[in-house]
Structure 1
Amino acid sequence: MRIQRALTAVCLFSASFLVAVSGPAGPAAGSAPPHDHSTHSHAPGAADDDEHRAQDLVGVPLHEIEKTTADNAARIERQTGRRPGRAQLKASADADPGVSGQWSPVLATPVVPVFTAVLPNGRVLIWDSVGDNAAETYPTHNFTRAMVWNPADNTSRRVDLQGTNLFCAGFAHLANGNILVAGGNANAQLAGTVRTYVFNWQTETWTRGNDMAGARWYPSVTEMANGEEVIIGGGPATAEVYQTNGAIRPLPNFTKYNARIYPFMISRPDTQLGLFGPYNPGYTITTMGNAAITGTANRDTISREYGSFSTFDIGRTLVVGGGSITEDGVAKRPTRTAVILDSNKGLTPTVTTTGSMSVGRRQHNATILADGTVLVTGGLSSTAKNALVDLDNAVTTAELWNPATGQWTALSAADRVRQYHSTAALLPDGRIMTGGGGICAACMSAGYLEKNVEYFSPPYLFKKDGSGELADRPVISAAPATVGIGTAFTLTSPQAATIGKVGLVGLGDVTHSIDQGQRYVPLKYSVNGTTLTVTGPPTGGVAPPGWYMLFVTDNAGVPSIARLVQVAKAPAPLMSPLRNSTGKCVDIPSSALTARTYLQTYTCNNTKAQALTRFTDDTLRVFGMCADVPSSNFTNGQRIWQYGCNGTGAQRWQFRTDGTVRPVSNTALCLAATANTNAAQIKIVTCTGAALQKWTW
């Protein structure tokens, strides 16, 4: 099916298409400079919208787009001997896939893989933009081309959506494996939409959800420990939350990001939200109730527009590439640098540098692999001509980052250029599916439109003897359907004695270099015969509820084929109230964010002041701080306050089946309210079984 109109869906545009569509003698890509996000406000104004309207491919039928693209591609090939979109150089080590991996043949697809979500059955939901329409001007955008692709046999089924255009939307998995999509493209003026939709992965059908308060175009969506989805960016300043019941509430206390470019976001181990890009500064946000900013810090000195990120360990995220800076003495190039954000301690992440890629990239994808390493594919190495697509400065060689060493290794080169509107996602068999590219002004003038996918098999899938043969893989012969937070479960594997890693990998939600779903969660385990006893993720912040790929990796570095398992929501209290038998809840007075604020009781009201999380390290946390016994004074009548988490016995609590909560360091004392009224003090007192010492969670 043809799209009768193409949209560019970015905040960066090239004017070159306006000339290129006039005939095959049009100029090369990038004859007009792109809009520079490094000086762009986070609140796009009328001038920005005018530029969007001027540069968008309004009213251009796809048959004209495809003809123009093909004509330009043929012209460029005649002039240069090079077909646009084809990689010209292959890595010298290609003959040995055990060293540099191996790329598959290119496979045509009926939909451009601009938006890619891996489903719990191993299939992939893919969509792009509007389809055929008789009206040249497209006054409405009421259709989305979509398909479900099956990597097992490379077949597809169309699942087009009627009613709206999901181009420019944000999306993420829900706890049940369905895909929540928020926002999109409303009209020819590139206005956002207030709509949400849910794609059911089992029935392969769409359902419209509740509307947001703000119309969004380029938002990000991230799932939290309690199963809620946070929606930020895309135009409106006020963040919103898609609740587990489908209702949507505003977060009026977070209005720091409204840019129409996807923000970098992740759920943190402390169950708060981390927002850390592409701009500086970043924020730590409690998303319960009406929200609170608990920490603010710069990531680094670079604005990393169209960079990429990957959470490769508990609370640790690699941020790599992006931006347009002067580096190594050359102006207008994306950075090749990378940094690691560690959000395991404190309200602001610590930032350290790691190894740099061999070349700067932008419009690339950083994809977590089955063993916790990170693969970077695609991108462009210069922004001098155009920041979306530049085939003369394409980067087709893959690079692999090793968290253990912080170093990068160059691997094989892809057959096709993957730049603007391309995606990459890990599959349950350990391969990476890459695809897409095109549908923009600069793309058209360059003859760049990639309706296809190709697969990359990393070196870990091959023997290391130079034979090029596939390696023998460990096998998970039995695994549970559900994994709990902090609870033990068993796996069976004939190769149990040789297993070196067990890990969960979140299902991908990829677009515009951003993957809000992926994360690698290493799991602790022990071995007895063919059985591995594994401990689930430490918190729901580390692994929000939902479907994950469960991999084992042997001592030779070869991963299994994944088992798809569902991580359950963590036990309460998880961003939820701790309630005593008189109906009052533990509360932070006035939602104070300061240490040494004494706890109190208050009428349960479902606000952030009562959103406590019980961690597997026996701490009880709110706002990223811990319920604490001041100076470890374990005496009858000692008041309890919140304090920075420090790993001491003053912050460890037992939650007993009799409803009492006791300090681990003195279990003769119980957490208690001094009265059944509001603002009653919270203390530790001698356990008596009194009602004010009994709690439910």
Structure 2
Amino acid sequence: MAESIGRWSDPFELSNVAVHATLLPNGKVLYWGRRENPKSTDLATLDEHFTKAFVWDPATKTSIPTANEPLGIDGRPVNLFCAGHSLLPDGTILITGGHVKDGWGVNQACVYNPATNTFTPKVPHNKGRWYPSVLTLPDGRALVISGSYDQSFTVNNIPEIWPSDTGSANPTAWVEVTDPLNQQGPVFPLYPRMHVAPNGRIIVVGPLADSFWLDLKDPVTGIDIQTPVSGGAVVGRWSSAGTSRKAMFRDYCPSVMYDTGKIMYIGGGLTVESDPGPTNEVEFLDLNVDTPKWTGSAVTNMKVPRRQFNATVLPDGSVLVTGGTKGPGFNDLSQPVHLSELWDPTTGRWTEMASESVNRCYHGTALLLPDGKVLSAGGGEYGGAGPDQCFTNAQLFEPPYLHKGGSRPTITAAPSEIAYGKDFSVTLGSSDTISKISWVRLGSVTHCRNMNQSLMFLTGFRQTGTNLTVPAPANTNLSPPGHYMLFALDPNGVPSVARIIRIFSSVPPRLEGTPAIPSPCEPPAAEIPLCCSSDKPATAPDVTPPPPSLQPTLTSHTQSITNSHNCPPMVVGLTPSCPYGLGPCFAGAYDALCKIPDIEIVCPVPNQAESVAYVYTKDAQLLPRIGVWKEEFSKVVNKSYEMLGIEVVLEGVVEFGLGTIGLSIEKYGGSVLVDLKPFGKERQIRWDWEKGVLKEVKKEEENAARRLREEVDEKGVARNVKVTGTLESGVDGNVLYVREFEVLSGDDGA
């Protein structure tokens, strides 16, 4: 059976929950979790401000701790939980952001060196980053996008680039990516899925339905786009890629570059109300064509819907999915998926594989190893997982190609380093015949997102006896500098054990005209120091004070929006499926609100405490079409968010009927009558995200409609009243449930 469905090893123990895992150039795996003791029932340990990291050796299946714990540049320990990470050209791992508390990221950066097993602090970010994505660029630098920060859990909308000279004794600083044509920039979800296209552009493919290009370099000169105003800083150009995934907003799922310039986006998200689980849909994007478009069909969909899972590209170009849940909600542990599936690039179909014995849902990880097996580990550490669902063990999956019988091809000799565009020699076993050679970048995975994974086939190789002459990749866009696993595959698709090879470029690490400039350091919060611990005295950071940021933060952009309007915004109540509240998880809802035809502008920072967003309509005199808003909104977000209702502020003249009270609103010389009714919990649109319930309604809010009538009775018929409340539309017209009011004038002139 193993030759058709593969085989799982028995579980074996690690030293912690492997929430973050990176394959190192020495073939070992660096990993860390959320806290020192994942079995603790003390919830305070969820916000520890230090990291215990380990290195696992596949040869011995044992772990050792790193030689030191990661520190910030101020000397304080940091928690690298929910950080972003990717391998740099020299084989070190850049780790950015981390954990203060859920939704609040620290502005640290550090580099792990496998040769010394140590962490070294680097210059911190402009703002904190919790759930950022990191991508190694074709020129060896690293791009960091997204992540949330501070007490408001605001998403960091200003991307940054880390220079490639990480080994310098005098570390250079981050460079902000500003866009003078789009001052706000796109509002991306946490851990955005991004890849390098064959043309060198960066593409962000999810979780939003729409895809976006980021251009960093001039296509003619190859030098970073700049303006004199920026003082030499990178200026990025954001633009729409002109294509959207049919499955719309999908989060907590992987995107994979399974071949040169070819991406697949797999499952995730939540579906319609009648089927409120994740999807099994798989969509494809070919970046090798002039106008890439997302495609997909029922034939290429997975067998099982799943969320909170991982996808691993294998040496033969197939893609393995492992773990996840098929249940509704953020992380339904009652419906874990143990069944693995394997996608065949020649047929486009999925085949059911052997089942894993452990739940690998939220915070599970999976990595391809040099021996062709897949390490599956982690799971737990929040998302409804108690101590018994926090897994400090791992399993190894042996794909079917390891059980086809006969001997595997072998690589007996290969260079440790090669240059772009140069042939290199590989020595094979005495009887090996090779049909394909694959080149797989070392993986660096967390939260369903492998930030370093890609595969390409090296073509044009020549075999003479036991010698292979292989042309190295000539294009840094296809293979950014760094370390790769070189697999030799026989005619049956059986891969050799890989040799890890570093490819380097003769191009200077930083192109002329892109000087490194210091980037702003986030001032420490009064109660939380820069790197979030009081366990160790801080030393003053040795950081040159930078110039002010050229790109406005989402907070400042929101303030400018409200300052430019002379009327209050409409308030939209939203509940996200994400347990971290609307602040860090707002991007999907923001995108959906922007697509509602009646809405002119959406403030990019919501109210985290009350789970509401603020919008301005194209015509402030028109009442929102509530049914249309909810329908258009749900088309984009599926069930990842729910629109609870809309609160408006209306001014008009109070009118009385038989036992009724209404508000006559002047519009275009006529008037619209809105019934006024008492406000109650059933009309509440504000959500307490910490408690997971609607906000309690105050007595004065329940009595507002009655007090309005009493106020008007005392002063006479009011000519002008401002009323705030939840608006609903019914068969008999619009109804406003009065939460508060202000009498502006009455017949006595008051």
Distance 2:324 2:136 in 1: 27
The structure 2 residue matched to 1:500, chosen from 417, 432, 435, is: 435
Equivalent position of 1:290 in the other structure: 235
Distance 2:245 2:103 in 1: 31
Q: 1:435 to 1:135 in 2, by over 3 A?
A: closer
Equivalent position of 1:262 in the other structure: 191
- Look at both structures and tell me which one has the larger radius of gyration over its CA atoms: 2
- Secondary structure of the equivalent of 1:353? coil
Equivalent position of 2:176 in the other structure: 250
The structure 2 residue matched to 1:225, chosen from 138, 148, 160, is: 138
Q: How does 1:530-541 map to 2 (within 5 A)?
A: 530-541=466-477
- Residue 112 (structure 2) pairs with residue 176 (structure 1): no
Distance 1:374 1:299 in 2: 23
Could you tell me whether the CA contact under 8 Å between 1:377 and 1:396 is conserved in 2? yes
Deviation sequence 1:440-469 (CA, Å, 0-9, x none): 151129x412111000000100135xxxxx
Equivalent position of 1:651 in the other structure: none
Distance 1:263 1:421 in 2: 16
- Secondary structure of the equivalent of 1:461? helix
Equivalent position of 1:378 in the other structure: 323
Equivalent position of 2:99 in the other structure: 185
Equivalent position of 2:331 in the other structure: 388
Q: 1:121 to 1:217 in 2, by over 3 A?
A: same
Could you tell me whether the CA contact under 8 Å between 2:70 and 2:120 is conserved in 1? no
Q: 1:496 to 1:178 in 2, by over 3 A?
A: farther
Q: 1:171 to 1:257 in 2, by over 3 A?
A: farther
Distance 1:494 1:256 in 2: 53
The structural deviation recorded for 1:314 is 0.7
- Secondary structure of the equivalent of 1:321? strand
The structure 2 residue matched to 1:126, chosen from 14, 18, 31, is: 31
The structure 2 residue matched to 1:458, chosen from 394, 399, 402, is: 399
Equivalent position of 1:356 in the other structure: 301
- Residue 360 (structure 2) pairs with residue 418 (structure 1): yes
The structure 2 residue matched to 1:339, chosen from 243, 258, 283, is: 283
- Residue 260 (structure 2) pairs with residue 311 (structure 1): no
> What is the total number of aligned residue pairs between the two structures?
469
Deviation sequence 1:281-330 (CA, Å, 0-9, x none): 2112123321112552333132110111211111011111111013xx95
The structure 1 residue matched to 2:495, chosen from 549, 555, 559, is: 559
> Which residue identity is paired with 1:403?
P
Q: How does 1:522-671 map to 2 (within 5 A)?
A: 522-524=457-459, 525-569=461-505, 571-572=506-507, 576=511
The structure 2 residue matched to 1:161, chosen from 64, 70, 78, is: 70
Distance 1:559 1:314 in 2: 19
Distance 1:495 1:404 in 2: 30
The structural deviation recorded for 1:577 is 6.3
Q: Give the superposed CA RMSD.
A: 2.5
Equivalent position of 1:207 in the other structure: 120
- Secondary structure of the equivalent of 1:352? coil
Distance 1:515 1:222 in 2: 10
The structural deviation recorded for 1:438 is 0.6
Q: 1:578 to 1:200 in 2, by over 3 A?
A: closer
The structural deviation recorded for 1:128 is 1.1
Q: 1:145 to 1:493 in 2, by over 3 A?
A: same
Q: 1:361 to 1:208 in 2, by over 3 A?
A: same
* Structure 1, gaps ≥5 residues long: 1-95, 465-470, 580-697
Deviation sequence 1:189-221 (CA, Å, 0-9, x none): 642111101100111000001111121110100
The structure 2 residue matched to 1:149, chosen from 35, 52, 56, is: 56
Distance 1:343 1:217 in 2: 29
Equivalent position of 2:384 in the other structure: 442
* Structure 2, gaps ≥5 residues long: 72-76, 148-154, 166-171, 217-223, 225-233, 515-750
Distance 2:455 2:114 in 1: 22
Equivalent position of 2:349 in the other structure: 407
Could you tell me whether the CA contact under 8 Å between 1:225 and 1:574 is conserved in 2? no
The structural deviation recorded for 1:503 is 1.1
Distance 2:46 2:56 in 1: 30
- Secondary structure of the equivalent of 1:333? coil
Equivalent position of 1:430 in the other structure: 372
- Secondary structure of the equivalent of 1:331? coil
Could you tell me whether the CA contact under 8 Å between 2:16 and 2:36 is conserved in 1? no
Q: How high is the TM-score relative to the length of structure 2? A: 0.60
Q: 1:574 to 1:110 in 2, by over 3 A?
A: closer
The structural deviation recorded for 1:553 is 0.5
The structural deviation recorded for 1:147 is 0.5
> Which residue identity is paired with 1:194?
N
The structural deviation recorded for 1:547 is 0.6
Q: 1:405 to 1:538 in 2, by over 3 A?
A: farther
Q: 1:189 to 1:433 in 2, by over 3 A?
A: closer
Equivalent position of 2:559 in the other structure: none
- Secondary structure of the equivalent of 1:99? helix
The structural deviation recorded for 1:259 is 4.4
The structural deviation recorded for 1:542 is 1.0
Deviation sequence 1:581-604 (CA, Å, 0-9, x none): xxxxxxxxxxxxxxxxxxxxxxxx
Could you tell me whether the CA contact under 8 Å between 2:188 and 2:208 is conserved in 1? no
The structural deviation recorded for 1:544 is 0.6
Q: 1:438 to 1:140 in 2, by over 3 A?
A: closer
Deviation sequence 1:158-214 (CA, Å, 0-9, x none): 12435111111111001111110000112x464211110110011100000111112
- Secondary structure of the equivalent of 2:384? helix
Could you tell me whether the CA contact under 8 Å between 1:149 and 1:156 is conserved in 2? yes
- Residue 339 (structure 2) pairs with residue 397 (structure 1): yes
Q: 1:373 to 1:236 in 2, by over 3 A?
A: same
The structural deviation recorded for 1:352 is 2.2
Distance 1:497 1:405 in 2: 27
Deviation sequence 1:121-174 (CA, Å, 0-9, x none): 110000112337999857974311210011111111112435111111111001
> Which residue identity is paired with 1:161?
P
Q: 1:201 to 1:299 in 2, by over 3 A?
A: farther
Distance 2:293 2:509 in 1: 25
The structural deviation recorded for 1:501 is 0.7
Deviation sequence 1:250-273 (CA, Å, 0-9, x none): 011175444452100111211221
Distance 1:372 1:258 in 2: 33
Equivalent position of 2:11 in the other structure: 106
Deviation sequence 1:412-461 (CA, Å, 0-9, x none): 0001111001000000000000011111151129x412111000000100
Distance 1:505 1:475 in 2: 17
- Secondary structure of the equivalent of 2:279? coil
> Which residue identity is paired with 2:250?
R
Distance 2:390 2:41 in 1: 22
Deviation sequence 1:10-33 (CA, Å, 0-9, x none): xxxxxxxxxxxxxxxxxxxxxxxx
- Residue 379 (structure 2) pairs with residue 476 (structure 1): no
